[in-house]
Structure 1
Amino acid sequence: MFKRNWSLFLINILLSFIFFFISADEYTLLHYINMVFYICFLYVIIFLIQYTMKGGFFDGITFGFRRFHHKLFNKNDYMEEWRDKPLPSEKIQPSVYHMIIFQSISLILVLILLLGLYYFVL
């Protein structure tokens, strides 16, 4: 798992370089910092969504909608299979969750390092 996280981190850095060379009008450190921010922002958003789901915020809403749908459309079905379906908090895989946390933190650290380089050295 440790090796997979670092290889994915290097893929993210390579991906930021590729997007930087494709989309930048001029090749400056500021444009590269922006590209790293976009990728980092994507990971942070995914992390926050997973964190909210893992905490069980959507479980009550999902359970209520499943029950409402069952009562409204399946009047003759007494199996109640909707109770056995997994809730959103049960669908979060710990390995993916920890990988997203690692990528978010490492890209934030790279972003802080690049911003420090841009503002204090250059």
Structure 2
Amino acid sequence: MKLLKNKWFLLLLNTVLTIILFFALTSAYSLVNYINIVFYVCMIYVLLGLLALTIMGGFFDGITFGFRRFFGMMSKDDYMDEWKNKPLPSQKINGSIYAHLKFQGFSLLVYLLVLLFVFYFI
């Protein structure tokens, strides 16, 4: 598990994953299909990173607090004030997860741009 916390090993693992997906999912082996696979993996990391950034910024905190308060008021249980002590979504996201997502997304984007440069200019 310590290897998965290393950002360079995870980048190598993502590159190997793109190669495996390329050979498993495409019927015609070409650079265009490999660029497409790298784009899909890159966009997964970019979208997850943007979602983590949105959650860390506190965008969903008010909505979550409002729903917890509403359900706490409407509940027939004796745990009326339990909703106040639960952590908000921005408190649950770890900053290191966002840093890993940002690094992987940016690194795969640079790799994708290098592949596009090779495709168009070489």
* Short-chain TM bin: over 0.9
Aligned residues: 119
Aligned residue number for residue 64 of structure 1: 66
Is there any run of 5+ residues in structure 2 with no aligned partner, and where? none
Instruction: Please report the TM-score for the alignment, with normalisation by the length of structure 2.
Output: 0.93
Alignment of 1:71-110 (within 5 A): 71-74=73-76, 77=78, 79-110=80-111
- Give 2:16's aligned residue: 14
Give CA-to-partner distance per residue, 1:64-113, whole Å, 9 cap, x none: 00000001113x62650111101000011111111011001000000011
d(CA) in 2 for partners of 1:69, 1:81: 11
SS at match of 2:6: helix
Tell me the residue number matched to 1:29: 31
Instruction: Give a deviation string over 1:9-52, Cα, whole Å, max 9, x none.
Output: 00000000000001111111000000000100100110111010
**RMSD in angstroms over aligned alpha carbons?**
1.5
Taking a change above 3 Å as real, the CA distance of residues 78 and 92 of structure 1, as seen in their structure-2 partners, is: closer
Question: For 1:49 and 1:100, how far apart are their aligned partners in 2?
Answer: 10
Any gaps of 5 or more consecutive residues in structure 1?
Answer: none
Q: Which amino acid letter does the alignment assign opposite residue 91 of structure 1?
A: K
* Corresponding letter in the other structure for 1:85: K
2-structure distance, mates of 1:93, 1:67: 25
Deviation at 1:118, TM superposition (A): 0.4
Distance 2:58 2:114 in 1: 35
TM-score (norm 1): 0.93
Give 1:53 deviation, angstroms: 0.2
